[in-house]
């Protein structure tokens, strides 16, 4: 993640670009159509990342010279894995439908905490049994 902080003037300039949905002092949210068009140009026509962003009206001195390649790399990976629809929905901060990170324990009742811990113990016992069988050569 970049440590670049956009000034008010830079944010206003970015917001005037039709390819920007939102802009804060730390991040830019690009339009879905720009993402799809950029990925197609990059993959199908072989146009460079910096060239795509320049033609779209972005000042590389403002957004950073490495940002176009970084963004297009991420967008292309998503496009290849999940298709065009993956670029149509903003997923930042939403976990992409997968439980990530440490499980939340705040707000759980004591009974819910006990249930979670019991499930963890069962999982760990099963894992230990599997590893013991693996060491003994019973699992291939």
pTM of the model: 0.62
Q: What is the CA radius of gyration of the chain?
A: 23
Q: Look at residue 106 in the predicted model and tell me its pLDDT.
A: 76
Q: Look at residue 2 in the predicted model and tell me its pLDDT.
A: 60
Residue 110, number of CB atoms within 10 A of its CB: 7
Mean pLDDT by 10 residues, the chain (140 residues): 82 92 90 92 92 93 90 91 82 58 76 92 95 84
Q: Look at residue 129 in the predicted model and tell me its pLDDT.
A: 93
Q: Look at residue 89 in the predicted model and tell me its pLDDT.
A: 76
Q: Look at residue 11 in the predicted model and tell me its pLDDT.
A: 92
């Amino acid at each position: 993640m970049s440590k670049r902080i956009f000034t008010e003037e830079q944010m206003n300039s970015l917001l005037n670009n039709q390819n920007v949905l939102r802009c804060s002092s730390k991040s830019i949210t690009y339009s879905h159509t720009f993402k799809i068009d950029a990925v197609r140009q990059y993959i199908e026509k072989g146009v460079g990342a910096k060239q795509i962003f320049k033609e779209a009206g972005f000042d590389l001195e403002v957004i950073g010279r490495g940002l176009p390649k970084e963004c297009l790399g991420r967008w292309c990976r998503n496009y290849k894995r999940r298709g065009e629809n993956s670029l149509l929905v903003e997923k930042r901060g939403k976990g992409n439908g997968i439980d990530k990170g440490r499980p939340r324990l705040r707000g759980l009742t004591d009974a819910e905490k006990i249930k979670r811990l019991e499930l963890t113990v069962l999982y760990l016992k099963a894992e230990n049994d599997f590893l013991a069988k693996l060491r003994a050569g019973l699992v291939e």
